[in-house]
Structure 1
Amino acid sequence: MLPSVLRRPFRIPGSTTSFLTRMLSSSSASSPTPLLVTPSQVRELLSKRSRDQVVVLDASWHMPNLDPPRNAYDEFRNKRIAGATFWDHDIISTKSDPPVPHNLPSPSLFADACSRLALSPSQHLIFYDTYGVFSSPRALYTFKAFGHNKVSIMDGGLPRWIAEKNPVVSTPPKPINVHEQHNDREASWGPIMSELLYRKRPQVESYFIADIEEHFTEYPEPQLDTSVARDNAEIVANADKGDPSASANVDYVLDARPAGRYHGTDPEPRAGLSSGHIPHSLSLPFGTLLSPKSSTDPYYQTYLPAEELEAKFQEALGKEGWESVKNEERSLVTSCGSGMTAAVVWLGLKIVTEGKARGAVYDESWTGYAAREGAKIEKS
């Protein structure tokens, strides 16, 4: 559950029809929101549209075995794009048995988090992370799964934003004078709302909390598109059908973990969890879909061009397998350690096929699969 910082009815902002809503109603179906945007495009959007129309969210997440450990929310508080909000994958999630840290949230939890972060279905949401392409696709996938389709990731993330000489805010959010000009207040709403949501005892004055509450939204509870998420029972049943290259009734499963973990030659980062792979799944490490690391400090990576992405998918699936997925004849399910980088491969598929291919994510991924008693684990 989310921290019980505030428990009072949400109040809807005075204006319920944004410029973006009007634009959506007049736009054609042939002009969808781009999945990838560059820092310069983000800067242009932010300069021309208000927070009612475009919201930038830091969706950074770090592996639990880093030494020294990193805390994504603390990093957000100390370096972020002005006005950005933080999306916490671990808090805004449902828990499972075996425990997986960031399964998709329930519809009610998703709506509650969006409301407390002052998000609305009409807004164009742009996600970034501190690696370039790592955890931001998971946030985009989550919103797509709940029907919020005006979503993009900033390709190259915060490091690319910085490398291209764009400004960042490097001080923790703090209370501001509620009587300051609207634009100044608007730049602080995102960070302060994140502070209220994720800090159990936010250091803000009570009058400021009341002011921020005025800008909470009432995000409607959505329905999950179950076609884009697979559970353990579905994965096991699919594996039991046999080799997908021998039967059109079997979905392909691509494993986004590093090859050593897939083959069972390298250990898993989670103690006590066997490495290896799901029977008949294939290996496509998420990093193979990304550019080489930039020479900047910190470095970043971006998605490869679409034609190079397609070559990677064809190499992993074989020509016939790839054509069957590309032509929407069967689904492609992506998996990883805990559902995070599986979304990198899922989004790569959507980029190549312009959103048409039938892609899904095994939400629990390897952590949920291998932790179950009697799980069939292959090593090669």
Structure 2
Amino acid sequence: MMLRYFIRPFACPRIKLARGLSFSKEVPLIVEPEGYSHLLGSVVPLDVSWHMPNASRDSRAEFKKRRIPRARFMSLDEVAGEHPLSLPHMMPSPSLFATTCKRLGISPGTHVVLYDTIGVFSSPRALFMFKAFGHKKVSIMNGGMPNWEYASLPVDERVFEPVDYPEPELSTNWLRNYEDMKVNATAAPSESNNHELVLDARAAPRFHGTAPEPRPGLPSGHIPYSISLPFDILLETVTTGNGSQFTRLRNTKELYEIIARAIGSDAPLQPGSKVRIVNTCGSGMTAAIIWLALQRLGVNSALYDESWMGYAARPESIIATTT
């Protein structure tokens, strides 16, 4: 099957984002290291670093060496639900989520600040998880641990005690499953009222089917009628004085322009839009970066939890390419 998407020229209108944002000043969606440091005594920083299997990095070991003061560590592969295809880091059960939070000294009223050691990579996925379970006070650190160190802020170690975290309720409307995606794969947006706008965070060559998937045995390509939106174009790379680099989320104007250009319209980004959006990627990790960018613009969206690993592994799946 061959699908081609034609994107018309896009002229960004004057953007008024404040109206679409509902995040309180007390609990911002994104915090900068300099603005966060004075809150050290009232929030819980949580290292949620995750790396691709071929990265040869040990997140837990790195956490033990250096971390933000009072930080705890949460493994997204360990806090994960069981899946019939044995896929990693799927959404956990409410019980597992609550038990993990108790162990980490996090209560439902705790303001949690999530960060990772790449900059912005796995922290949006963790933010999505907390939000889906109804945890109100949660933010991410823009630029993560590298940005913290870039700002010359201190690292520290401290012992913490477990607290109570009652089992929450998972907001299932935040997630999509395979049956939901089959609907999107069999009808064009103009032909079905049930169709959702599907944004794919993988690299464009994998989306188009011109480059192999990093996971053996999986074909490349994409869900029919989905749109390529590689997660890395939503991020900017900062180079420090010693030559190291980290990523951080772009500003709202840039995010608006990038997403609207990829979609071919700014309609889904407007207040009151009825267009439903679902994000996908390779394994459900970087799809949360698109989700975060949309949240930054005041746009709600869902996440296809199993993503391409689950979709492409099923022989009955319809796979589109542009080759």
Fold agreement, TM-score > 0.5? yes
2:272 matched residue in structure 1:
327
Equivalent residues of 1:111, 1:222 under 8 A apart: yes
Letter aligned with residue 352 of structure 1: L
Equivalent residues of 1:346, 1:360 under 8 A apart: yes
Counterpart Cα distance in 1 of 2:97 and 2:59: 20
1:300 matched residue in structure 2:
246
1:70 aligns with 2:57: yes
Give the 3 Å change call, closer, same or farther, for CA 71–30 of structure 1 in structure 2: closer
The offset of 1:103, in angstroms, is 0.3
2:11 matched residue in structure 1:
none
Counterpart Cα distance in 1 of 2:246 and 2:166: 35
The offset of 1:375, in angstroms, is 1.3
Counterpart Cα distance in 2 of 1:291 and 1:358: 23
2:310 matched residue in structure 1:
368
The offset of 1:57, in angstroms, is 0.6
1:108 aligns with 2:95: yes
The offset of 1:295, in angstroms, is 4.0
Equivalent residues of 1:58, 1:129 under 8 A apart: yes
Counterpart Cα distance in 2 of 1:85 and 1:132: 17
* More moved, 328-337 vs 290-299: 290-299
1:318 matched residue in structure 2:
264
Counterpart Cα distance in 2 of 1:145 and 1:119: 16
Equivalent residues of 2:23, 2:29 under 8 A apart: no
The offset of 1:248, in angstroms, is 4.9
The offset of 1:333, in angstroms, is 0.3
Aligned partner (choices 341, 344, 351) of residue 286 of structure 2: 341
1:7 matched residue in structure 2:
none
Q: What SS is found at the alignment partner of 1:334? A: strand
The offset of 1:284, in angstroms, is 0.3
Letter aligned with residue 118 of structure 1: G
Counterpart Cα distance in 2 of 1:326 and 1:287: 25
1:122 aligns with 2:109: yes
- Percent identity among equivalent residues? 46
1:37 aligns with 2:26: no
Q: What SS is found at the alignment partner of 2:95? A: helix
Letter aligned with residue 372 of structure 1: R
Equivalent residues of 2:183, 2:195 under 8 A apart: no
Q: What SS is found at the alignment partner of 2:50? A: coil
- More helix as a share of residues: 1
2:301 matched residue in structure 1:
359
2:203 matched residue in structure 1:
258
Equivalent residues of 1:328, 1:358 under 8 A apart: no
TM-score relative to the length of structure 2: 0.88
Counterpart Cα distance in 2 of 1:292 and 1:166: 20
Give the 3 Å change call, closer, same or farther, for CA 162–218 of structure 1 in structure 2: same
2:75 matched residue in structure 1:
88
2:14 matched residue in structure 1:
none
Q: What SS is found at the alignment partner of 1:291? A: strand
1:157 matched residue in structure 2:
144
The offset of 1:30, in angstroms, is 5.3
Counterpart Cα distance in 2 of 1:71 and 1:30: 35
Equivalent residues of 2:227, 2:262 under 8 A apart: yes
Question: 1:259-314 deviations in whole A, cap 9, x for unaligned?
Answer: 01111111111111111101111000001111134244431111111011011111
Mind listing any 5+ residue stretches in structure 1 that lack a counterpart? 1-27, 170-186, 191-214
Mind listing any 5+ residue stretches in structure 2 that lack a counterpart? 1-21
Question: 1:223-256 deviations in whole A, cap 9, x for unaligned?
Answer: 111111111111112322x222565541100000
**For this pair of structures, how many residues does the alignment match?**
300
Counterpart Cα distance in 2 of 1:301 and 1:295: 11
Equivalent residues of 1:104, 1:363 under 8 A apart: yes
